[in-house]
Every structure is written in C-alpha cells, then in structure tokens.
Amino acid sequence: MIAFAPAAVFLLFLAIGVLRDRRRLGNAVLLGLVLAALGLGAAVWLRRSDAPLTDEALLVLVLVPVVALGLLPLFLIANGVEMVRKEGRGLGNLLSLLAGIGLLCLELFLGIGLATGSHTLGRISALLVAPVGYLGFLFFCFVSYAFAYGRIRPRRKVDFVVVLGSGLIGGDRVPPLLAGRLERGRRLYLAAEARGAEPLLVTSGGQGPDEKLPEADAMADHLVERGVPAERIIREDRSRTTLETLENSRALMAERRPDYRCVVVTSNYHAFRAAVFARRAGVNGQVVGAPTAAYYWPSATIREFVAVLYAHWLVNLLLCALVTVLAAVGGWWR
C-alpha cells in the first residue's frame, strides 16, 4: 500500500486545512492533489498486482479520463451555444463556448503532431500543453472542492442571514437568479427562527448605473412581499463588489452583535469564491448556495475560476511560466 502513501499525506494536510478554516483556497489544491495521488496510486497498485482482471481495470482507469478530456470540448461547445441562445452574447456567457473551441483546437493540434511524428510540432505541443495542463489541474481542484464545500450544511443557529445581490431586471425588479438566493435566505431565516433564534436578514447590494434603486432595497421589498417582517431586514446598499458587500455586511453585523454568527447566501456556482472572500473580509460564517439552472453552471463556474486566478494573478503567472519553461527545456533536450 506504499503507492497510496502520498495520497494519505495530502489527505492529512487537507484535514488540517479544513479544520482550521473550510474557506481556505489552499484546501482546493490539497483536495486535487489527494485525488490525483489516489488515481496514480491505484494505477501503480494495479500494475504491480497479479489479481485477475488487473490489466482490464488499469486500462479502464487510464481510458476514462482520456475519453472524458476528449469529449469535454464538445460538451462545452454545446453548452456555450445553449448559453448564448438563452442568455445572450455577453462575454461572460461566451466563456464555455470559447473554452470548448480552444480545447478542441489544442486536441486537433496534438493529434496532428502525433500522427505526423514531427519533432517541431512536439516541442510546440509541450509549450501549449504545459500551461493548459497547469490551469486545467487548478480548475479540477477548484471544481472538486467547490462541489465538496457546497455539501456543507449551515449552522443550526445563526444571528444573521446575509443574501448577496445581483443585477436587477429593468432597473428595479428581482431576476430569477436573485429570487432563488432570496428564497434560500428566507428558508434559512425561518429555520433559524424555528430553532429559537432571533435572526436578522441582511440584503446586500448597491445601486448600479443602470438601476433605479439599490439592489438591497429591491431585495428587501421582495422578502417583505413574501412575509418577512420589514423590521427584521437590514439593508446594505452601498457595495459594488462581492468583497465590498461582505466587508460592509460584516461591519453592520458586528455593530449590532459583536459575537455574531451568520450564514451567507449566494448562487451555488458562486459559493466557494464568496467563501474565500468572506474569509478575507473577516466574516464569521460559512456560505451556502442557491440552485441555479444546469445550463448556466459551466460558464458561470469558468467565470468564477477566472476571478480566483485574477485575485492571485502573480503567483499563478510565475508558476505557469515555470511549468512552461520546464516543458520547453524537456522538449528541447528530447
């Protein structure tokens, strides 16, 4: 079982990281390393085992990710077409389509290089695959941990339920995406109240240039129409970004109850990035996600991943350059 020792080590560090704070971005990388080490350990164990059907099992272990990677561009392109058809041609809606086209072009280029046996194409492929592989591994880490984080249940008793805003329709109406967040927040508020707490709801979001009123006001009105007492709602109406929203909400909560506990509600694809920002803002609470339409998830998740990369752009740029240089050196000496 020595083949699984690296996975056990990474798992230990992951457990420590989760116990320290579930919202740490490093936990995502550790989870990715655990899963990768498990796969590699299983392959080594199968290769050395003399049990029946080990060769077939090893073949399946190798083919599954290969086939998945081969089909991924087609899935992204199909999803991108649906996204554009339903949501329009904004850059954020084009992300899955662009990613699918890019991956398909890369796979075709690699296929031509392998078919022709060209050393020049092989070296160029190494330069392309290295940064794409690095970003692909980070994306795998991000998605895996975001999925795991989304399974975490909120605390039973909380003092505040914070709902993060989004854009308004026509400048004054709550869109379906935001309505889903508000409904999840309302249910958490009622659940906390049923357990004997006296929670407050915080609606967060300032007024955009194309909006007639702050998002927090439209959100509060939406909740009041659905039975939430107006006096149980706090409006944070000055923020423009997720980080500002969390910082301003933390100040409002700490002012009323210095030892508060809260739960933050957003859309499921946004939950982990919001959790990372909540940790940075010093918010004492976890983040939960409201359901989102399945077709919306791929592009939205890619957008969240890009935002996380940008927030740590320097370290990712240096590491991406390092793996590219190493791949170039390896390709040259080959």
pLDDT at 65: 87
Q: How far apart are CA 40 and CA 56, in angstroms?
A: 16
Claim: this prediction has a pTM higher than 0.85: yes
Residue ranges of the chain with pLDDT lower than 70? 51-53, 155-156, 330-334
pLDDT score, position 154: 75
What would you report as the CA-atom Rg of the chain, rounded to the nearest whole angstrom? 23
Distance between first and last Cα of the chain:
34
Q: DSSP of 285-315, one letter per residue?
A: EEEEEE---GGGHHHHHHHHHHHHHHHTHHH
pLDDT tens digits for range 95-146: 999 999 999 999 998 888 888 888 777 778 778 889 999 999 999 999 999 9
**Nearest to residue 323, comparing CAs of 127, 41, 52?**
127
Cα(137)–Cα(290) distance, rounded to whole angstroms? 26
Beta bridge partners of 266: 289
Distance CA 108, CA 260 (A): 55
Q: What is the pLDDT of residue 88?
A: 86
State the burial class of residue 295 (Cβ atoms within 10 Å of its Cβ: 0-12, 13-18, 19+). Answer: middle
Query: What would the pLDDT profile of 197-230 be if each residue is shown by its tens digit?
Result: 899 999 999 998 888 999 999 999 999 999 999 9
Characterize 4-31 residue by residue with b for buried, 16 or more Cβ atoms within 10 angstroms of its Cβ, and e for exposed. Answer: bebbeebbeebeebbeeebbbbebbbbb
Tell me, what's the pLDDT at 31? 97
d(CA 78, CA 75): 5
**Measured distance CA(234)–CA(162) in Å, rounded:** 9
* pLDDT for 118: 80
Three-state secondary structure readout of 24-65: CHHHHHHHHHHHHHHHHHHHHHHHHCCCCCHHHHHHHHHHHH
